[in-house]
């Protein structure tokens, strides 16, 4: 077992690189005074089979895709921040005596980690972050422990290095979303964002449910649905190829029947899945009930989805915009960036790590 400092950052600026099964997203931010600016922005598709179930199956293929994305983004950064899927990281808040120095703490954590991590010692990377005085026990501090299989980190680091990027930060997707959410909430007048909020990040194959209260992450679950199900329906119904179907979701070029017979049931299905997941959350925890929903991910912008979710769940539902109040560098396509914003929550949280 080795302490790898997942959460570590030095003073270098980092390129946010969000690697998913469907593709890679790249984001570079700069900051002037209190104002952020998008300096580079790119997406790069990944060949099927490169990333499966959050594991890198083909490092060279991922490396070349990263390389292409870096060129496309025109970034000059040489350091990257990446995230591991929340489902691949074991996290636990433990209590430690408040008189330990950092070195003693590391030793103690090494000893304790065995109790929490179900993998052989030499296959695991471990890190911790001190969260502050424990609310539960006096004389103790809360420490967030995070453990991940070294292989999951190493394969990403190797692919990035093929594109001449050094991995500076290894974060966790849910924490990256929390970071982006905090930026977004800071730039919003909406008081309800300080209460219990569910962020539903609907991607291609998976959906992340993340619940925050008081702006802090309190719950996370991975749900097995996403935009690929809509693509598959379109494909079967209108006899299209994968590529044609994956860009047809807005209905362009599809018969009128698409909206009522394919898209509407899919919206209904998603709303039902979200309702079910929130029910599971509510019966399994003692936390406060969710009062507000933010939709994120590529599917957040499905026409009318926020309206259906709001109506069916009876909770105010809006689309997350992590780029609210950000400037866009000259030469970038601001309209396109605005349209893609909800799917850049993770990338944004990673890019923001340059400034913490
Ligand atoms: N306007 C839209 N209407 C419907 N679906 C859309 C729209 N825009 C994007 N999508 C779908 O969103 C999905 C991609 O979302 P996103 O970029 O968040 O996924 P990802 O992060 O690559 O995937 P995952 O997180 O599952 O690994 C695709 O299935 C795409 O078809
Ligand atoms: Mg994603």
The response to whether residue 231 sits with its C-beta less than 6 Å from ligand 1 reads yes
89 and 141 belong to one structural domain: yes
**203 alpha carbon – ligand 1 mean position (Å):** 5
The response to whether residue 168 sits with its C-beta less than 6 Å from ligand 1 reads no
The response to whether residue 295 sits with its C-beta less than 6 Å from ligand 1 reads no
Token pair recorded at residue 298: 């590529």
Ligand in nearest proximity to the CA of 300: 1
**123 alpha carbon – ligand 1 mean position (Å):** 33
93 and 216 belong to one structural domain: no
* CATH code, domain with 144: 3.30.420.40
Ligand in nearest proximity to the CA of 301: 1
SS3 of the chain: the string is CEECCCCCCCCCCCEEEEECCCEEEEEEEEEECCEEEEEEEEEEECCCCCEECCEECCHHHHHHHHHHHHHHHCCCCCEEEEEECHHHEEEEEEEEECCCCHHHHHHHHHHHHHHHCCCCHHHEEEEEEEEEECCCCCCEEEEEEEEEEHHHHHHHHHHHHHCCCEEEEEEEHHHHHHHHHHHHHHCCCCHHHHCCEEEEEECCCCEEEEEEECCEEEEEEEECCCHHHHHHHHHHHHCCCHHHHHCCCCCCCCCCHHHHHHHHHHHHHHHHHHHHHHHHHHHHCCCCCCCEEEEECHHHHCCCHHHHHHHHHCCEEEECCCCCCCEECCCCCHHHHHHHHHHHHHHHHHHHHHHC
How many domains does one find in the chain? 2
Ligand in nearest proximity to the CA of 233: 1
What pLDDT score was predicted for residue 10? Answer: 57
The ligand 1 atom at the shortest distance from the C-alpha of residue 227 is 29
194 and 255 belong to one structural domain: yes
The ligand 1 atom at the shortest distance from the C-alpha of residue 343 is 18
149 and 171 belong to one structural domain: yes
What pLDDT score was predicted for residue 83? Answer: 97
Enclosing domain of residue 135: 1-187+324-356
What pLDDT score was predicted for residue 2? Answer: 44
Token pair recorded at residue 58: 């083909």
Cβ atoms of 231 and 246 within 8 Å: the answer is yes
**How does strand 79-84 pair with strand 15-19?**
parallel
The response to whether residue 299 sits with its C-beta less than 6 Å from ligand 1 reads yes
- What residues does 92 pair with on adjacent strands? 145
172 and 214 belong to one structural domain: no
117 and 149 belong to one structural domain: yes
The response to whether residue 301 sits with its C-beta less than 6 Å from ligand 1 reads yes
pTM above 0.85, yes or no: yes
The response to whether residue 43 sits with its C-beta less than 6 Å from ligand 1 reads no
CA–CA–CA angle 325, 18, 130 (5° rounding): 80
333 and 242 belong to one structural domain: no
**189 alpha carbon – ligand 1 mean position (Å):** 28
294 and 173 belong to one structural domain: no
53 and 138 belong to one structural domain: yes
**343 alpha carbon – ligand 2 mean position (Å):** 7
Per-residue pLDDT of the chain (356 residues; tens, 9 = 90+): 344 555 565 568 999 999 999 899 999 999 999 999 999 999 999 999 999 999 999 999 999 999 999 999 999 999 999 999 999 999 888 888 989 888 888 888 888 888 878 888 789 998 888 888 888 788 899 888 899 999 999 999 999 999 999 999 999 999 999 999 999 999 999 999 999 999 999 999 999 999 999 999 999 999 999 999 999 999 999 999 888 888 888 888 899 999 999 999 999 999 999 999 999 999 988 889 999 999 999 999 999 999 999 999 999 999 999 999 999 999 999 999 999 999 999 999 999 999 98
The response to whether residue 322 sits with its C-beta less than 6 Å from ligand 1 reads no
Q: Which long-range contacts does 315-318 make (Cβ < 8 Å, 24+ apart)?
A: 315/290, 315/291, 316/192, 316/291, 316/292, 317/292, 317/293, 318/293, 318/294
Which residues are in the CB-under-5-Å shell of ion ligand 2? 20, 203
CA 51, CA 347: separation in Å to the nearest integer? Answer: 17
352 and 205 belong to one structural domain: no
**130 alpha carbon – ligand 1 mean position (Å):** 35
205 and 171 belong to one structural domain: no
1 and 142 belong to one structural domain: yes
């Amino acid at each position: 077992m080795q302490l790898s400092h997942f959460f570590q950052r030095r003073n270098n600026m980092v390129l946010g690189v969000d690697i998913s099964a469907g593709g890679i997203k790249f984001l570079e931010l700069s900051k002037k005074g209190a104002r952020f600016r998008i300096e580079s922005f790119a997406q790069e598709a990944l060949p099927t089979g490169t990333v499966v179930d959050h594991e890198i199956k083909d490092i060279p293929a991922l490396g070349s895709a990263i390389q292409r994305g870096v060129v496309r983004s025109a970034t000059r950064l040489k350091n990257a921040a990446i995230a591991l899927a929340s489902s691949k990281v074991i996290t636990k808040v433990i209590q430690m005596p408040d008189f330990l120095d950092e070195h003693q703490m590391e030793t103690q954590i090494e000893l304790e980690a065995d109790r929490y991590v179900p993998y052989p010692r030499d296959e695991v990377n471990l890190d911790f972050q001190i969260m502050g005085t424990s609310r539960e026990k006096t004389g103790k501090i809360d420490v967030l422990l995070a453990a991940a299989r070294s292989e999951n980190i190493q394969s990403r680091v190797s692919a990035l290095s093929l594109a001449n990027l050094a991995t500076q930060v290894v974060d966790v997707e849910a924490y990256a979303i929390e970071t982006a959410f905090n930026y977004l909430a800071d730039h919003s007048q909406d008081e309800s964002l300080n209460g219990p909020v569910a962020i539903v990040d609907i991607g291609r194959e998976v959906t992340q449910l993340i619940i925050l209260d008081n702006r802090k992450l309190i719950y996370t679950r991975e749900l097995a649905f996403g935009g690929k199900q809509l693509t598959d329906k379109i494909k079967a119904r209108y006899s299209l190829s994968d590529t044609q179907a994956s860009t047809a979701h807005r209905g362009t070029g599809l018969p009128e029947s698409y909206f009522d017979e394919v898209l509407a049931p899919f919206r209904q299905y998603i709303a039902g899945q979200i309702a079910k997941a929130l029910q599971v959350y509510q019966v399994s925890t003692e936390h406060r009930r969710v009062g507000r929903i933010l939709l994120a991910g590529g599917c957040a912008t499905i026409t009318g989805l926020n309206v259906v979710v709001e109506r069916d769940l009876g909770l105010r539902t809006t689309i997350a915009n992590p780029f609210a109040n950000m400037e866009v560098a000259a030469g970038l396509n601001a309209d396109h960036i605005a349209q893609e914003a909800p799917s850049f929550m993770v990338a944004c949280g990673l890019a923001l790590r340059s400034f913490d």
